[in-house]
Structure 1
Amino acid sequence: MLKLHKSFTAGLFVACAALTACSGGSSQDHSMHGQNAGGDQAGGGMPMNMGDPNATPAKDVAGAQLRSGAFTLLPTRPPGHEQAAGTAWLAIHPGGTTATLEMTGLAPGTKYMAHLHAKPCSEEDGGGHFQFDPAGPEMPPNEIHLGFAADAGGRGFMTAENEKPAEAAKSLVVHPAEFSDNRIACADL
């Protein structure tokens, strides 16, 4: 019985090791705090740029055309977000676009997503996503997404960059990462 148990345990170990190696998994952190926020992938298996918390915030980009707006709550927000507030910044500069958001009053530890939108907040809560190419894919780099998680105090921050100027973007909309129809807040830019 002991011999059978050792064989089974060794076989299980080998099988688990093989599955890990073949799955393409890694120990890399795919949390919402990095450029690879949420582990989302663009076509071809390349990681999508969902923001970089260490990038220069939009309000600090030298020589940029800077737009900013305070977030206003939307009626589609899920329960528990009645105190959500913050500011969004959009910097248009020779290197492209930088978008930053800072928020408070979010659910601690919850993952969120923000997108630049094509309409102001007063029109259809920002309308659809802003896209550099309207016929292109609904993901970066054709769109600007900011993926982040609220800290233990309910604060969230993220900056995303794109090499193209997003001059026609009108607003930034935030929603829980898992529930894109539950828009929490919108900031006109």
Structure 2
Amino acid sequence: MRVGVGVVALLVLVGGCSGGGDGPDKPIAATVSGAAAVVVKGTFVAASAAPSGTTAFLYDPGAVKGPASAQLTLREDAGHTKVTLAVDGFAPNRSFGAHLHAKPCGPDPADAGGHFQHQPDPAASPSGDPQYVNPNNEIWLDFTTNDQGHGQAVAEQDWDLTPGHRPASLVIHTMATMTSPGVAGSAGARVACMTIKY
């Protein structure tokens, strides 16, 4: 199903996981405040027990307290991209790194590949060069949870996504993102991953 809104055709997607209680994946055309938007919701399922068709994987059960979920919204309008993230059920009073990645999630944490980059590093993928690995060229959504395990983040970019070049997943990491040369973009082990469907 394609919906032409501006330059990029985007959909609202309620992306349920088996066992997540959200129901099957259901793309729905939508416009939010005049801008094209994609909304993805997922309840994370332990990767070791994830059934076929799972789109939100949990790799580190110690990072959550009970059922954990996320909602990601990507909104593109006139060359500007705004991404918002809200999570629930994660360990309280803790900082996590979060980035949009280039490939869809899978049961192996490495399945999501490296970070999505607006201007990809021609020398390496994944890259450790701060010229490419930075919050202006990538979409970073680090968050700190409150006492109830809720966290949220917003990232805004002065560039848009195109049908041929856009992120495929959200990856949550065990620690806040580092920025030094050689380790730029690193945020520890991958805790959870949610596939973005368009």
Contact 2:169 2:193 in 1 (8 A): no
Q: Which moved more, 1:63-72 or 1:125-134?
A: 63-72
Q: 1:113 to 1:183 in 2, by over 3 A?
A: same
**1:83 CA drift (Å):** 2.0
2:174 to 163, 173, 176: 176
Figure out how many residues of one structure are paired with residues of the other and give that number: 131
RMSD, matched Cα: 2.4
TM-score, L = length of structure 2:
0.58
Aligned to 2:76: 92
Aligned to 1:111: 95
2:149 to 150, 154, 159: 154
Structure 1 alignment gaps of length 5 or more: 1-58
Q: Provide the rounded CA distance (Å) in 2 between the counterparts of 1:181 and 1:118.
A: 17
Q: Is the aligned partner of 1:127 residue 2:125? A: no
**1:60 CA drift (Å):** 9.2
Q: Provide the rounded CA distance (Å) in 2 between the counterparts of 1:113 and 1:166.
A: 22
**DSSP-derived class of the 1:146 partner:** coil
Aligned to 2:5: none
Deviations 1:147-178 (A, max 9, x none): 21001111011111011113311221112225
Aligned to 2:33: 62
Contact 1:76 1:181 in 2 (8 A): no
TM-score, L = length of structure 1:
0.61
Q: Which has the higher helix share?
A: 1
AA at the equivalent of 1:157: Q
Identical columns (%) = 32
Deviations 1:67-106 (A, max 9, x none): 1212334352251425221211111211421111111101
Q: 1:126 to 1:145 in 2, by over 3 A?
A: same
Aligned to 1:77: 60
Contact 1:98 1:159 in 2 (8 A): yes
**DSSP-derived class of the 2:90 partner:** coil
